[in-house]
Structure 1
Amino acid sequence: MMMNMNYTASKQSSPRIPEVVIPEDLVVNIALSTRYEINRAFANLRQIALGRDIKKFLIVIAGLWLLSVLGSCCNFLTLLYIVFVVLHTVPILYEKYEDQIDSYGEKGWVEIKKQYAVFDAKVLSKVPRGPLKDKKH
């Protein structure tokens, strides 16, 4: 059993969809900026891997350690949700309490500098270092 349906065309015109054009210079500028940031990140990673900047090296170790502790406490989706919530709430809280956060941040930064100076004097200065040779290929 077949049914034959005839549809009549409506007399309304089709909706107007605006033409979207992305300027070429905008795309080129974005690509150049992205390339610059990626190259800068690679340069930082190289400096960390070579061990020339011990401060960055220690910060990376601490960050990876913190990430491993957080990762062992929860699964990936929970960690992703926590990061999502934090990234959406911290900027709002910072805007609201900017003055108090900045003063605590300055006090904390001064304390971190003091502790790093002590650590540098007692531990890092006693680590023997060989001559650094940068091989060029």
Structure 2
Amino acid sequence: MPEHSRRVSAENLLDNFMETFAHNVPKKSSEPVFESTEKSTVSDSFNRLFGREKPVHHLLGGGKSADVLLWRNKRISGSVLAGATFTWLLFEWLNYHMLTLICIGLVLSMTILFLWSNAANILNRSAPSFPRISLPEDIFVTAAIALSNEINRFLSFLQDVASGKDLKTFLVVAGSLFAVAIIGSWCNFLTIFYIGFVAAHTLPVLYEKYGDQIDSCIYDALDKTKQNYRRFDSQVLRRIPTMKGKKSQ
């Protein structure tokens, strides 16, 4: 009986989790295809993954960073992604180091300015000068305050998760950290950062364009996962007490 109760409780726990997850994922619409365009447009735009009711652009902040991530200006977004790719290739494939690149850049800049200054003296023109950086005095204070607020928010989130109030959130966070640790053992931090950077510049725009298809695939995968678990439970888990009972006899 204890084994049977443990098996039933585990099955009920997974069923409750799958039903909660399925309830949050938008289900396939059974309405006719030829409905009013206004109604379908509004429902398709604001009934997306996990039941969210805001567009992707609003979820990403709605500012210039969201415009870059969603490729509102293809030239800027392409330049940012190309620059990140070039930097990753320099450090990862060509095995350059930050100090080496800085020194090489300074030497090239000094050589160009040296040639330019001598040419300016010959041509009776003004000599060039290094550009000066001017920053507001409180920019570092503002950045430090914003960073500290984000760190405190993350620490408070970890504290709430570790308090044991929500077992599902605790398991999700622990599994995510464990997965990141495994991925980190495969490659270095720069590669992980670059993969995340590329994903941030590709996945949101893909979901914005093909959100309905992605939601449908996730819902189908969720149904198949639930069916496979029920099949595994009926074919394997339900037979374990019987096998143990035969051995005891």
| TM-score using structure 2 length | 0.31
Higher RCO (Cα < 8 Å, 6 or more apart): 2
| TM-score using structure 1 length | 0.50
